[in-house]
Amino acid sequence: MVATTPKGEARRVALLDAVIRVLEAGGPGAVTHRSVAAEAGVPAAAATYYFAGIDDLLVSALRRVTEHQVALFAHLRGHSYARFAAVLYDWTHIERASAIAQYELLFLAMRRHTLRDAADLWYQALEEAIAVVQPDARRGRVIALAVDGLILRMLWRGDPATLPEIEAALRDIVGGR
Amino acid sequence: MVATTPKGEARRVALLDAVIRVLEAGGPGAVTHRSVAAEAGVPAAAATYYFAGIDDLLVSALRRVTEHQVALFAHLRGHSYARFAAVLYDWTHIERASAIAQYELLFLAMRRHTLRDAADLWYQALEEAIAVVQPDARRGRVIALAVDGLILRMLWRGDPATLPEIEAALRDIVGGR
DNA sequence: CGCATTCTGGTACATTCGTTCCAATCTGAG
DNA sequence: CTCAGATTGGAACGAATGTACCAGAATGCG
């Protein structure tokens, strides 16, 4: 089902945002029609009215957070990697739910090839952002892998936790030996 | 509940192994008493008899796969990183279920601090294995991050897929600029 | 060999889930 | 303003889940 009215569309995105919040708190298993609807402040039936199934709801939410994140990384073009550290900090600590959702997407992509494109989109955005500070493609790919690992580590460990620490870690990664 | 008889202990590990296989195929949401018991070839009640709850079952299985993996990495000490590439290949392609389970653990550790220690164990094992080919601690940490990102990428993307490709990627990572 | 303990395998139940259905309400184009 | 279609909100359903329970079988210690 696709929303045609403005209010309907507003409810759609309210539901998708709610999915991200539920996802952060309880993981994919906690994403149910009822929990998401309650989080969004809409009746439970709305989740089934706007989305074909619980699966469609989850996939749509992950696509949405990816597009949002890709847009954020696109703004990074032309800036130094000091600003890159700030973006990483905001993402993994302020907008933590969004970051966690992003990596849940990668896990889902392991089992569902439908999500490969969305996952690729995110990874390409990361590589392009890195290309600003490291033009060499081969070296850039390695940095992208390390940054990926760094983000993952910040998410499950909460470390590095401060902006200076992240900058230092990024300096080690980009700086090479 | 803790098994005291040899046969009981065998059932415990059979259940834990089944959890890993179910985890690979369907993610944490697919891990239920009944699905795991069916996969292990034991009656459903066995899963509740040997484990306090579905949660205990999941956590125990992830701890087990971590210990197994840490032991495998420990054997790596004193070898070249060419052999390291072979171990990575086996893990992410032959024993894929084990690798996926390992990263599910990291995700679970985001929300449950009980799992922090187990997750730390894995990450330390990775860093120690890398210390063999790169003694410098600071540089080694960066490599560990990149290898972490590489593993994640291989899992959700299946790329790099061949042993030579992994060796090349590893060479780029370890080799520096 | 006897027997306390552990293990087995099946059933049962309350809960929660995804999904369907429908009458009432709202929206916006003509 | 009208009204056809979109949206709402609640109820209800079958299915699947976690867990508790129990009578019988197997086990291993003395």
User: Hey, where are the domains in chain A?
Assistant: 6-175
User: What is the tens place of the pLDDT at every residue in A34-52?
Assistant: 999 999 999 999 999 999 9
Q: Which residue of A has its CA nearest to B106?
A: A156
User: What is the tens place of the pLDDT at every residue in A105-132?
Assistant: 888 989 888 889 989 999 999 998 888 8
Contact criterion met (CB < 8 Å) for A177 and B172: no
Q: Which nucleotides of D are covered by protein (CB under 7 A)?
A: 6-12, 16-22, 27-28
Cα A36 from Cα B53, distance rounded (Å): 25
Q: Nearest-CA distance from A157 to chain B in Å? A: 7
Residues of chain A with C-beta less than 8 angstroms from the C-beta of B141 = 172
A79-83, A166-170, B100-104 — which is least confidently predicted? A79-83
CA-to-C1' span, A8 to C29 (A) = 17
CB B13 within 8 A of CB B60: no
pLDDT at B5: 75
CB nearest A156 (choices: B110, B142, B150): B110
Answer whether residue B177 shows pLDDT above 70. Answer: no
Cα A109 from Cα B59, distance rounded (Å): 23
Q: Concatenated DSSP letters for A7-33?
A: HHHHHHHHHHHHHHHHHHHH-GGG--H
Contact criterion met (CB < 8 Å) for A152 and B150: no
pLDDT at A132: 82
SS3 sequence of B66-96: HHHHHHHHHCCCCCCHHHHHHHHHHHHHHCH
pLDDT at B62: 92
CB A154 within 8 A of CB A92: yes
In CATH, which of 3.40.50.300, 3.40.50.720, 1.10.10.10, 1.10.357.10 is domain B6-175?
1.10.357.10
CB nearest B149 (choices: A25, A107, A148): A148
The answer to whether some atom of strand D lies closer than 7 Å to the beta carbon of B48 is yes
> Percent of chain A at pLDDT above 70?
95
CB A148 within 8 A of CB B152: yes
Structure tokens at A20: 């991200």
Task: For residue B128, give Cα distances in angstroms to A66, A98, A139, B15, B140.
Answer: 34, 32, 24, 31, 9
Question: Residue A106 carries which side chain, given as an amino acid letter?
Answer: L
Q: Nearest-CA distance from B41 to chain A in Å? A: 24
pLDDT at B113: 86
Mean pLDDT of chain B: 91
Tell me which of A154 and B5 has the higher pLDDT. Answer: A154
Q: Concatenated DSSP letters for B98-128?
A: HHHHHHHHHHHHHH-GGGHHHHHHHHHHHHH
Q: Nearest-CA distance from A65 to chain B in Å? A: 18
User: What is the tens place of the pLDDT at every residue in B35-88?
Assistant: 999 999 999 999 999 999 999 999 999 999 999 999 988 888 767 778 889 999
